[in-house]
Amino acid sequence: MADPMRIRAQSQGGNALVRVLMSHEMETGQRKDSAGKIIPAWHITEVTAAHNGKPVLTAEWGPAVAKNPFLQFTVKGAKAGDKIAVTWKDNKGDTRTDEATVS
Amino acid sequence: WAAFNKSAFEAKTIADAVKAYGGAAPVESKSVTLTAPDIAENGAVVPMAAASTLPNVKHLLVLVEKNPNALVAKFDVTDAIEANVATRAKMGQTSDVYAVAITSDGKAHYAKKEVKVTLGGCGG
């Protein structure tokens, strides 16, 4: 199981600024190991975010997203106490969901 | 989960990646903003943000022209979020970086910026 995400959701003028740090290798599939063998691609392919259970953002990512990915977005009308949940899925089928409360 | 759009992420050019999401040939527009550094000291972590003030934006794309595959990330914009997202990308070499907004009528608008990559000690 992958390490938890760090999610910060801050209320800002009627919206919530959400910043997420995920823990993931994001291996491109283009690098070779010391034996010259290609290291297989291993990266997050899909990300979704929900505001109080309602989906608000979906994303597709390729291997060019940096290791331990950062994501920032702004949820309209989210206020303190609201829940923001973020889920990712990688190309090996692993998935993780974490939730934060807007402050 | 929607099916992962493999062809978009295998595209070698900006236009092909945009096409994979139903976008027409992209035109440059002041209504799209790309925020990225002038110089990236570390090509493994380059902050990039895409934003648009256009109405009915459906997708925001971030692309690096000279990467092996141009598309870095695609974001689906809904009414519930602002058309403004940020992430960090890898860049193999100095390249133009694109932010593309595809609207619900299939038009694609872009902003671009050259980001110089200096890889420490590798003569980049």
Q: What is the ipTM of this complex?
A: 0.94
Q: What is the pLDDT of residues B71-102, one digit of tens each?
A: 999 999 999 999 999 999 999 999 999 999 99
Say yes or no to pLDDT of B3 above 90.
no
Mark yes or no for CB contact B9/A60 under 8 Å: yes
Q: What is the pLDDT of residues B24-35, one digit of tens each?
A: 999 999 999 999
Rounded to the nearest integer, the mean pLDDT of chain B is: 92
- Cα B23 to Cα A17, B45, B100: the distances in Å are 28, 28, 10
Nearest residue in chain B measured CA to CA from A78: B80
Say yes or no to pLDDT of A6 above 90.
yes
Within 48-87 of B, beta carbons closer than 8 Å to A belong to 49, 64, 67-69, 71-82, 84-87
Q: Does A52 touch chain B (CB under 8 A)?
A: no
The verdict on residue B123 lying in a domain is: no
- Tokens at residue B44, please? 């493994």
Q: B10 vs chain A: nearest CA distance in angstroms?
A: 9
Rounded to the nearest integer, the mean pLDDT of chain A is: 95
Residue B113, domain CATH: 2.60.40.2470
Nearest residue in chain A measured CA to CA from B10: A62
Rg (CA), chain B: 14
- Cα A68 to Cα A10, A29, A46, B50, B70: the distances in Å are 21, 16, 14, 19, 20
- CA nearest to B82, candidates B115, B65, B103, B57: B57
pLDDT at B56 (0 to 100): 95
- The mean pLDDT value for B36-63 works out to 96
The verdict on residue A1 lying in a domain is: no
The verdict on residue A37 lying in a domain is: yes
pLDDT at B120 (0 to 100): 46
- The residues near A35 (Cβ < 8 Å, ≥ 6 apart) are none
- Cα B24 to Cα B18, B41, B108: the distances in Å are 7, 34, 6
Q: Does B22 touch chain A (CB under 8 A)?
A: no
pLDDT at A95 (0 to 100): 96
Range of the domain at B12: 6-117
- The mean pLDDT value for B101-118 works out to 96
The residue written with tokens 């090996």 in the block is A92
Residue A69, domain CATH: 2.60.40.10
Count up the domains in chain B and report the number: 1
- CA nearest to B118, candidates B62, B46, B51: B46
